[in-house]
Amino acid sequence: MSVQSKRPDARPRPDRYVYHRVPPNLRGSILYPLNSMRGVFPDLYRERRSNYASREDIAALRIPPLGYCLWNDVLHLSPVHPDRIKDALTAAGHALPEEWRRYFQIDARLLDPAATVVYKLSTFLWPGQFNVAVASEEIGRDCLPFSAETLDLFMDVPTAAREYYASVVPGAGVALFLGIPHVLHRGPIDLKQDGISIVEV
């Protein structure tokens, strides 16, 4: 979905980036939201969609500020540089998994503010099953407009994420982005654009 922004002055400044892990089985040069992959790479869609087999409540979540689209209708990006996440994990006694060491660094100006929000991430939603309608409205309340000023608020690993990392026994699996704000972008990203590179941590 392409949405033309009516607020070009809201685009972040040149030194602002968002990050997305380089998928291990990436095909082509376009990063698609999961639901958009169904008609492009159906086998990859089925493989990745299987991750929600036991958590259909998450797949059914909606994002009110982006037209009540589904959770998997958007790309999930991070405003936090992966080096900072790695450092926070190390401080808590964890190692960054090998498959989570390569990221696309994306110039934030490439994302249309009208199709993008910053989700502060209410961690209390995730431990167990929840009411989808109530949780979706909570997500809507926790979303902020996408701008340079908003990104500036979320460039470091929050205390909640650090406390979560510290609560996990070293050697056990860690949900890397639990407690990390998300940048939610409705639509694909063409990786051939200037302003996109790969960083390794």
For the chain, the straight-line distance linking the first and the last C-alpha, in angstroms and rounded, comes to 32
pLDDT digits (tens, 9 = 90+) for 31-50: 999 999 999 999 999 998 98
> According to the model, what pLDDT value does residue 14 have?
53
Low pLDDT (below 70) residues in the chain: 1-14, 122-128
- Please, which residues have CB within 8 angstroms of residue 166's CB and are 6 or more apart in sequence? 92, 93
> According to the model, what pLDDT value does residue 15 have?
72
Give domain limits for the chain.
27-200
Please return the burial class of 22, using the count of CB atoms within 10 Å of its CB with bins 0-12, 13-18 and 19+.
middle
> According to the model, what pLDDT value does residue 124 have?
58
> According to the model, what pLDDT value does residue 194 have?
94
pTM, whole model, 2 decimals?
0.88
pLDDT digits (tens, 9 = 90+) for 83-96: 999 999 999 999 99
Looking at this protein, which amino acid is placed at residue 153?
L
> According to the model, what pLDDT value does residue 197 have?
96
